[in-house]
Amino acid sequence: MKRIICYIAILLFTFSFIYPTKTFAKAPDKPYTTVDMVQQMISDALIPINEAITGLANRIQVLEDIVTQLGSRLGIVETNLATNSQNDTILNGRVDGFESRVDTLEAKPVPKTLKIFDNNGTELGIYMDPSKFFYELIGRRISVDLGDGHLDGTIDEYHTSSDCSGNAYITVSGQGDLNDKENSLLRTGPGSYFIIQRGTASETLNINSVRRYGGSGPSYRCDPYGSSVEHLYSLTSVSISFTEPVSIPLQYKYE
């Protein structure tokens, strides 16, 4: 650039000596063009160019800064992607492990449960002991007399009515007796089954009749009763899916 300026200045200076008296129209007072004037004119002409160059340089610097920042952010993103890839690998490994465990569990045979059946093959319930089973339909245990096939747990029904109609009640003697009766099927006789709902409160009532099963026959009967009775619990009537007496001997099988 400096060389170009010098060449232009030398040319202009040379022209001023070659044509010193050439004028256009009448301009007797106009001074000759000097090297300083040429340089000033060139300098003035280059000002906007230099400003534009400076502006471009500044913009280039800004763009370079942005590129640097983008490079840093790209590095962070790449690091995160690498971390996520490692996490995916770990998770995939765990999933494969769980799937392997599931396959192993599915391959294992399902544990069988010991159950009690009557002599005809009718399922009674889950084995508890040779004469007792858990009856899932009512969530209570049932005991069987292994001699005649009748169910144990015979009770008397207490009624406030005089003809053994209406709500039935049972007497309980102490917490141990209550725990036993709450978890057992209770019966007045064949076809008449009850349970005590857990959490039922005791009552004291005037009892006027009692329903019992027995005597010659045997059969149900309603006996008069006229007294106040404490520690009574309300009975809820239930049904069972098999008939009494059950066919004996009982059978025990895993299913």
- From 67, 83, 105, the end of a domain falls on 105
d(CA 168, CA 197): 13
Q: Are residue 131 and residue 237 in the same domain, yes or no?
A: yes
Q: Do both 119 and 88 map to the same domain? A: no
- d(C-alpha 171, C-alpha 97), whole Å: 58
Task: Look at residue 25 in the predicted model and tell me its pLDDT.
Answer: 46
Predicted pLDDT at 122: 94
Residues 47 and 126 in one domain: no
Domain that includes residue 206, residue range: 114-254
In a shared domain, residues 120 and 215: yes
Query: What are the tens digits of pLDDT across the range 172-201?
Result: 999 999 999 999 999 999 999 999 999 999
pLDDT digits (tens, 9 = 90+) for 218-228: 889 999 999 99
Distance of CA 32 to the CA centre of its chain: 97
Beta bridge partners of 101: none
If one counts every other C-beta atom within 10 angstroms of the C-beta of residue 120, the result is 9
Return per-residue pLDDT of the chain as tens, 255 residues.
555 555 555 655 555 555 444 444 444 555 566 777 777 777 777 788 777 788 787 888 888 888 888 878 887 888 888 787 777 777 777 777 777 777 776 676 677 899 999 999 999 999 999 999 999 999 999 999 999 999 998 899 999 999 999 999 999 999 999 999 999 999 999 999 999 999 999 999 999 999 999 876 688 999 999 999 999 999 999 999 999 999 999 999 998
Within this chain, do residues 66 and 179 fall inside the same structural domain, yes or no? Answer: no
Q: Are residues 21 and 40 in the same domain?
A: yes
Same domain, 211 and 241: yes
Domain boundary among 54, 82, 105: 105
Same domain for 131 and 95? no
Same structural domain, 170 and 208: yes
Model pLDDT, residue 66: 86
The total of structural domains in the chain comes to 2
- Supply the pLDDT for residue 6: 54
CA angle in degrees (0–180, nearest 5) for 188-193-196:
100
Residues 146 and 239 in one domain: yes
Pairing of strands 114-117, 123-129: antiparallel
Judgement on whether residues 242 and 153 belong to the same structural domain of the protein? yes
Same domain, 81 and 32: yes
**Domain termination residue (choose one: 105, 122, 151):** 105
pLDDT reported for residue 13:
54
Query: Left if phi > 0, otherwise alpha if psi is -120 to 50, otherwise beta: which for 199?
Result: left
